[in-house]
Chains A and B, each alone.
Chain A
Amino acid sequence: DAKTTQPNSMESNEEEPVHLPCNHSTISGTDYIHWYRQLPSQGPEYVIHGLTSNVNNRMASLAIAEDRKSSTLILHRATLRDAAVYYCIPRDSGYALNFGKGTSLLVTP
């Protein structure tokens, strides 16, 4: 499994953009970069994934470095509901996820 490094915690003000970084320097060529989040007392929830190109969906954007050794999850306007633990997970399709410790995002009004 590729090793990941994420900040333990980050803080943001409501309605401001948030950039959550992840280093995955040992990622293999076939690994997708997945992001999941876990809200308090809930199961993990898919956010976004990508392979090489930047990706956008209704929840977030994913910016992937050209060498694929790092990526950034971008929440364009943080809301209180976005307070969660965010996990960056390099993984090939169809395999179980190795969650690691993730980044705990605190959003303040």
Chain B
Amino acid sequence: DARVTQTPRHKVTEMGQEVTMRCQPILGHNTVFWYRQTMMQGLELLAYFRNRAPLDDSGMPKDRFSAEMPDATLATLKIQPSEPRDSAVYFCASGLPLRGSETQYFGPGTRLLVL
């Protein structure tokens, strides 16, 4: 049963520290998305990649967030320095867009708390 995996599942850190979240997309999927969920904003897109190239990162605060895909099996989202307002659940999703057959598969999320 193929799944998107995310690590860590939970992270508590102090303001100013660097946070790195990792995602392993489903093998063969060529599109990877990063979403963030908070009570106030709901689910919002941060960035997404196709064939490892960034297509849209307009949802990310550029000064502190960065997203990369070092290879096809790993996507990373980094926050440096972290701030309390970054506390949220971060979801990674992967998909293989085919006309008429579109599904995004979500990981379990990384719950981040910045103190």
Contacts and interface: CB of A to CB of B under 8 A. Distances in A.
A51 B100 contact: yes
Chain B, interface SS category: strand
Contacts of B109: 42-43
Interface string A34-72: 101010001111100101000000000000000000000
A101 B95 CA distance: 22
Contact of B102 (A45, A93, A99, A100): A93
Contacts of A95: 97
A109 interface: no
Contacts of A46: 103-105
Contacts of B99: 93
Contacts of A42: 108-109
A9 interface: no
By size class, the interface of chain A is: 20 to 34
Interface of B: 4, 31, 33, 35, 42-45, 48, 50, 56, 91, 93, 95, 97-100, 102-109
Q: Considering the complex of A and B, which 6 residue pairs feature the smallest CB-CB distances, nearest first?
A: A94-B97, A43-B106, A99-B43, A96-B45, A93-B102, A46-B103
Given A44-B43, A46-B103, A99-B44, 12 more contacts: A43-B106, A43-B107, A43-B108, A43-B109, A44-B91, A44-B93, A87-B43, A93-B100, A94-B102, A97-B43, A97-B45, A98-B45
